Structure 1
């Protein structure tokens, strides 16, 4: 996620008061300590869905669902010749959240991928780096909502490009899989099409490529970066809210990416897309609010969803990003009941939540399976799927 919004210092699902903690962006790693006690109050969800168009309505309890690993889901091993995975951190996150969260390397997304035979590389980011996004505030384009990814996110995309090159160099592979968490998802889409990070003139020689003129940051390309085989987005807000409801807090950057590369834009060129989102908390807020203390999960979700899509009441999502904002048309879509946006307690960066997120052991295989299926289908099948999705959309519109 991407908003520079306000978040609570802490909360519990049992509505007891918590001491205040440091403030943090709601899209950061600190966005999901929402169930620490009495998790039995939430109905256990046992479903993973890939037919998003006809999702059955679950039996909500206190506007929440709790995860339970579906029967029959086995550990997904990397297939022979699998591309290395480049993990793109979400807004406010740091590399360590994916390599050694809370000082526990065994609990890391990167470690769990390694155990399954994948080669993970995490884009190097520190939390303080996200202050660089504020560069956009100094431009007229930001206040007019007319920015591309430059200047606010150029630093991030350059690090993605460097990490992709390192992954290819160290593994000898020709392509990578981009796995973007939260804002890393739409920024991964930006990298995929940005002409600045494309091989220069198709030059195979590194010296010739380095000497070739480089495109300006935020320059849209007509073809995908050939280094990328697939893009997976985990709880990513794919588009800004409607302008009549909320301001695009990226100054137009996110909207530019979605307009320039809508849906599974490069599927016809062979890129495979998998978009994943939790259906975990349904937004709800009573007005006027007279109760004191931190917001409860459905209130927090209401506020966060409103920032992302302009609506919060009755909207379902991973407690930070609503389901409807996380899915790309033409992509393989995966909905995970009971899975939260991230792994840490709200207001802190150093305490485990006790709830599952996209990188949890029991959850990881539920989206790795669809990724492997997409990789094995091949480029031609991906292109056919995109055509079918476009035709279905046109038929529905008619």
Structure 2
């Protein structure tokens, strides 16, 4: 069984993923979460470089491979963690912010990853603070680009975006990600933004975006088997 690494979503800390980590480990895939704290995201605010996150991701991946004497693993990216994972996997040097050079080598990790699972990831976005990073991802790695890597992109369908009480946040977020507010999604990421061309695209009814959300999210026991089977 391949080991698994979870990369948290934007501004999230590792501790909220502990129930998911434990559930996946119980299924037979030894799972580790990149040990991020909320403050670790601060240098990335405002659309800046994701190098601080990539450094911790790379350390965690290499440790998981060594600890399990494995050559490959599963990589799960929740929310922004999904498109950051695509930077990590890809071979093009991520030097667009001028903070590192090509010798840094916090990318080109495709040989280490057998399966990439993205949970509620906005793979497209019109947000000005994510545009530079996401343009880099989608210009260089369109869709499920690598044929020898399995992409599983999971979307939630729980909140329809409308300009009314209780749905305004979803409307605004969907509009910024996929350009359409009146659509379905997980409350933050529209279904259209969470899927990739060529990937195994899954939509799960009733799932909300965050592990902090009330009710069911992507890692809840009620829906875990819908996508975790691809790790096995």
Task: Give TM-score, length-normalised by structure 1.
Answer: 0.54
Query: Are positions 1:115 and 2:34 aligned together?
Result: no
Query: Are positions 1:328 and 2:171 aligned together?
Result: no
Query: Are positions 1:215 and 2:102 aligned together?
Result: yes
Change (3 A) 1:195 1:161: farther
Would the aligned equivalents of 1:305 and 1:311 in 2 still touch at CA under 8 Å? yes
- Alignment partner, residue 138 of structure 2: 258
Alpha-carbon shift at residue 371 of structure 1 (Å): 4.2
Three-state SS of the structure 2 residue aligned to 1:361 is: coil
Change (3 A) 1:176 1:371: closer
Would the aligned equivalents of 1:301 and 1:312 in 2 still touch at CA under 8 Å? yes
Alignment of 1:374-393 (within 5 A): none
Change (3 A) 1:119 1:92: same
Change (3 A) 1:274 1:158: same
Q: Deviations over 1:89-121 (max 9, x none)?
A: 00011010111xxxxxxxx10111111111001
Query: Are positions 1:98 and 2:17 aligned together?
Result: yes
Alignment of 1:1-398 (within 5 A): 82-99=1-18, 108-134=19-45, 152-194=49-91, 215-216=102-103, 225-241=110-126, 247-267=127-147, 270-286=148-164, 295-296=165-166, 298-313=167-182, 315-345=183-213, 353=214, 355-372=215-232
Q: Which runs of 5+ in 2 are unaligned?
A: 95-100
Q: Which runs of 5+ in 1 are unaligned?
A: 1-81, 100-107, 143-150, 198-213, 242-246, 287-294, 346-352, 373-398
Change (3 A) 1:217 1:322: farther
Alpha-carbon shift at residue 344 of structure 1 (Å): 1.7
Change (3 A) 1:153 1:217: farther
Alpha-carbon shift at residue 364 of structure 1 (Å): 0.8
Change (3 A) 1:310 1:196: closer
Three-state SS of the structure 1 residue aligned to 2:6 is: strand
Which is higher, the Rg of structure 1 or of structure 2?
1
Q: Distance in 2 between matches of 1:280 and 1:251?
A: 26
Three-state SS of the structure 2 residue aligned to 1:121 is: strand
Alpha-carbon shift at residue 251 of structure 1 (Å): 4.7
Three-state SS of the structure 2 residue aligned to 1:305 is: helix
Q: Deviations over 1:24-52 (max 9, x none)?
A: xxxxxxxxxxxxxxxxxxxxxxxxxxxxx
Which has more strand, going by share of residues? 2
Q: Distance in 2 between matches of 1:217 and 1:281?
A: 41
Alpha-carbon shift at residue 234 of structure 1 (Å): 0.3
Alpha-carbon shift at residue 303 of structure 1 (Å): 1.4
Would the aligned equivalents of 2:54 and 2:84 in 1 still touch at CA under 8 Å? yes
